[in-house]
Structures are given as structure tokens and as C-alpha cells.
């Protein structure tokens, strides 16, 4: 079976253009991805951001892990049906006038 590989490209914005100092949110995002098992594969400098390509292997996708629901499972609609004045619903944008 083939090895599963995930790839993502992130834009990490800089504090000052054409430097290496990341903004606080971008630095936190970078640390979070590294801690979650992503490896930095490639980095390219732009004027106001850097483009970083991350990659991780061995993590199966969530789609392949979840069981598929059966076709005959009935789902209820969460919205109430009907909403006219006679059925007890609100009358429109502001509700019924009294």
C-alpha cells in the first residue's frame, strides 16, 4: 500500500517587509504546525510574507478513517416547518403586531 503524504503551503506574514521577523500570529502558527508533526520542506521569500511548504507522512486522511453512514438512516430537519401567523410562528421580520 502506498504511503500517505499530506502537503500544505502557508503564507506567514512579516513584521517588516524584506526581513525574517514573523508577526506574532504567523510565528505561533509556524510553531503549532511544527509541533503537530509537519516538517518545513521549502521556504521562499516575498516582499511582505514568506511562503512555506510543509509536509507530513503517515497520517491517514480523516475521510478514509470514518465509517460511511447507511443509506436508510433517516435524518430530522432541525428547522421548524411552516411559520405563518395561523400556525403560531412569527409574522415576519418584527413578529406579529399586538
For the question of whether the overall pTM of this predicted structure is more than 0.85, the answer is no
How far the first Cα of the chain sits from its last, in Å, is: 69
- In the numeric block, which cell numbers belong to residue 8? 500544505
What is the maximum span of the chain, computed from C-alpha positions, in angstroms? Answer: 69
Query: Closest Cα partner for 39 from 73, 8, 82?
Result: 8
Instruction: Compute the distance between CA of residue 89 and CA of residue 41 in angstroms, rounded to an integer.
Output: 57
Render pLDDT for 30-74 as a digit per residue (tens, 0 to 9).
999 999 999 999 999 999 999 999 999 886 666 666 777 777 666
Q: What's the order of all strands across the beta sheet hosting 5-13?
A: 5-13, 49-57, 39-45
pLDDT for residue 83: 54
Amino acid at each position: 500500500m502506498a504511503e500517505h503524504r499530506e502537503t500544505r503551503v502557508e503564507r506567514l506574514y512579516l513584521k517588516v517587509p524584506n526581513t525574517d521577523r514573523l508577526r506574532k500570529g504567523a510565528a505561533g502558527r509556524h510553531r503549532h504546525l511544527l509541533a503537530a508533526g509537519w516538517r518545513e520542506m521549502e521556504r521562499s521569500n516575498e516582499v511582505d510574507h514568506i511562503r512555506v511548504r510543509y509536509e507530513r507522512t503517515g497520517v491517514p486522511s480523516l475521510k478514509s478513517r470514518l465509517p460511511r453512514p447507511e443509506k436508510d438512516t433517516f435524518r430530522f430537519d432541525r428547522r421548524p416547518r411552516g411559520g405563518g401567523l395561523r400556525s403560531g410562528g412569527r409574522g415576519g421580520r418584527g413578529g406579529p403586531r399586538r
